[in-house]
């Protein structure tokens, strides 16, 4: 099963209290984790593709340390995306 997603970009400020777009992005990632159709059953295999707007690993960006406070590589985003992947 192929899932093609667009995760909202989240704006420029990585604080959900100050940036409704970032809050929406975090909620979207939470919903991905709980989305039942994303969870394989039995021998089913699923592939997630698309514009995920999250660089979850240190080697996905040019400078992990410098980008930790930049939308698309913040710890909360990366944790939520990896949790959704692990859950499904």
Q: Taking the CA atoms of the chain, what radius of gyration do you get in angstroms?
A: 13
In angstroms, rounded to a whole number, what is the distance separating the alpha carbons of residues 54 and 9?
Answer: 8
Mind listing the pLDDT tens digit for each residue in 66-81?
A: 999 999 999 999 999 9
Spans of the chain below 70 pLDDT = none
Looking at residue 51, its pLDDT comes to: 97
In angstroms, rounded to a whole number, what is the distance separating the alpha carbons of residues 69 and 52?
Answer: 18
Q: Which residues contact 11 (CB under 8 A, 6 or more apart)?
A: 19, 20, 21, 22, 71
Cβ atoms of 19 and 27 closer than 8 Å: no
Looking at residue 54, its pLDDT comes to: 97
């Amino acid at each position: 099963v192929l899932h093609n997603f667009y995760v909202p970009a989240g704006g420029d400020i990585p604080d959900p209290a100050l940036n409704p777009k970032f809050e929406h992005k975090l909620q979207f990632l939470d919903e991905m984790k709980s989305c039942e159709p994303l969870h394989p059953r039995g021998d089913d295999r699923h592939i997630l593709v698309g514009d995920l707007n999250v660089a979850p690993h240190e080697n996905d960006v040019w400078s992990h340390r410098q980008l930790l406070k930049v939308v698309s590589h913040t710890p909360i985003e990366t944790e939520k995306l990896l949790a959704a992947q692990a859950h499904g």
